[in-house]
Structure 1
Amino acid sequence: MAEVATFAMSDQLLVVIDPVALRTDGESVRIAKDVLSAGAATKVCLPQGPEEFARALARRGSRRPVVVGDDRALMRAVSLLHRQRQLAECVLSVVPVGAALSLAGSLGVPTGAVAAARAVLEGVERRLDLLVDDSDGVVLGALRIPPIRDAEPSAGANGATAVGPGAGRPWLRTCQSLVRTLVPTRGTLPGESGPSRLRVEVDGTTLVDLDQPVEAVSVAPGAAGVAEVEVRPASVGAEASPLRAEGRTVTVSGAHFRYRADAAVSGPVRTRTWEVREGAWGLTVPAVG
């Protein structure tokens, strides 16, 4: 995570404003625009959807991209630049605006509009590691494999929770509940929380195998170029000690599982491999001192 020279105040900026940020906190967006425009030549873009967002980044030319938005907007920008194979040569800046800002904060970006905008103008580039999976997805911070405890029932068009065929017929709901109790499940289904049977391999070495149910698996950035992996086995009686390892490649396989990467939930998949790319992307952060 090396820091390099500060940026010139005369840099040309492409300010891409996520529409969600504009709806959520228009005042912070206005403040960020004012601070950035006062310190550099700016071109402001207000994309109305993912395609316009991608097009704006692709056509940035020599301008330094600045994303005004929440963690999802930051993730979208990094993912797009990665898939365009332009991430290594691009220094990305972000002014966090919105409800979900924990990822940006954990990466060293101020979560206040004024401080973040000043960091864009006066900050330094920090090179950060990236987790890239075998479907070309990226993880900026950390990922977690089950349980995902915030799964909610699907909602209908009017926002109401979807109702199954047993609605209004208590006797049918009772029979359905009895059948679910008597028929054994084939493992953890997508969206359920509970122990899963997964094989976790770190640099080709098995950390835990399918014969050991696990409560959770987490992968987070460690020292430069490696990831820290922690597996929490399902405990019976006394709490089981977590298993830990470090490595550049992490493969998880087994029954269908979902995983949370940064702020997004993906899956279900049967297997996924993540590889650490050292110093794969650059982010503007405040200068130290």
Structure 2
Amino acid sequence: MAEVATFAMSDQLLVVIDPVARMTDGESVRIAKDVLSAGAATKVCLPEGPDEFARALARRGSRRPVVVGDDRALTRAVALLHRQRQLAECVLSVVPVGRALSLAGSLGVPTGAVAAARAVLDGVERRLDLLVDDSDGVVLSGLRIPPAHGTAAPAAPHGPGRPWLRSCRSLARTLVPARTVAAAGTEGPARLRVEVDGTTLVDLDQVVDAVSVTPGAAGVAAVEVHPCAELAALRAEGRSVTVSGAHFRYHADTTTSGPIRRRTWTVGEGALRLVVPGPAGTG
């Protein structure tokens, strides 16, 4: 993550205030507007819905966009800028307001309105890696395929004298197709293939309890696979991660997606240009 020079106080700001923030914490919104207006030339936009939110960002001109809202507003702004192919040229600021602020905090943004607004005015740009999937979605903090529910057969006893039971259960797991689990409506992975940079980390012959993919540093993602409770986690790093197999859902930032059969995520190195407090900032 690289930090660059602080911003000029003469910068013009486009302050886009999410409607949810206005409803949940109007006082913090007012404080943020006062601090920003005192330190820079601001144009305030009050979109009433997603379409107006998108238009405001698209028509920002030379103004630096400042999103006032919760984690969903932040991820919406990043996704819109990515789809508009403007993310690389845009330095984004956020003043977290609302109930869900953990994502913004994890990215280094203060979660107090005053501190966050001051960081907009005198902070620094930090370039952060993110994940881009093959459906043009973006992931900021990471994603997780949750534990399976009812997909794995009970563990075979390890005691002596019953090898035939272990063999029968092993055969049953091989013969029962993973799609029967998906048809039953259970969530989470059953048998998944996880590939990192084209190399298979775990294949369809093994029940997978959980998978996590997190953008790290220097353009690589950290991948962790938990095959089952009895085996150690498998870890790898790479620029591209593909998960395929039975229908699965995944949690990414503030949303849950799926069920799908295949998805590939690729690291966008330094793709998010986010304003955070400078070295002397109190956060």
For the criterion TM > 0.5, the same-fold answer is yes
Specify the SS of the correspondent of 1:187.
helix
Asked if 2 retains the 8 angstrom alpha-carbon contact of 1:147 and 1:192, the reply is no
- Measure, in 2, the Cα distance between the counterparts of 1:137 and 1:190: 28
Alpha-carbon shift at residue 223 of structure 1 (Å): 2.3
Asked if 2 retains the 8 angstrom alpha-carbon contact of 1:35 and 1:114, the reply is yes
- Equivalent residue number for residue 281 of structure 1: 272
* Residue 223 (structure 2) pairs with residue 232 (structure 1): no
- Equivalent residue number for residue 207 of structure 1: 201
Specify the SS of the correspondent of 1:213.
coil
List runs of 5+ in structure 2 lacking aligned partners: 150-177
- Equivalent residue number for residue 255 of structure 1: 246
Alpha-carbon shift at residue 194 of structure 1 (Å): 5.6
Task: List per-residue Cα deviations over 1:123-150 (Å, max 9, x = no partner).
Answer: 000011120000000001110012389x
* Residue 171 (structure 2) pairs with residue 192 (structure 1): no
List runs of 5+ in structure 1 lacking aligned partners: 150-183
Asked if 2 retains the 8 angstrom alpha-carbon contact of 1:148 and 1:260, the reply is no
Task: List per-residue Cα deviations over 1:60-111 (Å, max 9, x = no partner).
Answer: 0000000000001000000000010000000000000111111100000000
* Residue 24 (structure 2) pairs with residue 24 (structure 1): yes
- Measure, in 2, the Cα distance between the counterparts of 1:53 and 1:86: 15
Task: List per-residue Cα deviations over 1:3-28 (Å, max 9, x = no partner).
Answer: 00000111100000000011111110
- Residue 190 and residue 12 in structure 1: after superposition, are their counterparts in 2 closer, same or farther (change >3 A)? farther
Question: How is 1:131-280 mapped onto 2 (pairs within 5 angstroms)?
Answer: 131-147=131-147, 186-188=180-182, 192-193=186-187, 196-235=190-229, 239-280=230-271
Asked if 2 retains the 8 angstrom alpha-carbon contact of 1:190 and 1:256, the reply is no
- Measure, in 2, the Cα distance between the counterparts of 1:29 and 1:143: 30
Alpha-carbon shift at residue 281 of structure 1 (Å): 1.8
- Equivalent residue number for residue 50 of structure 2: 50
- Measure, in 1, the Cα distance between the counterparts of 2:139 and 2:31: 30
TM-score when scaled to structure 1? 0.84
> In angstroms, what is the RMSD of aligned CA positions?
1.6
Give aligned-pair identity as a percent: 81
Specify the SS of the correspondent of 2:267.
strand
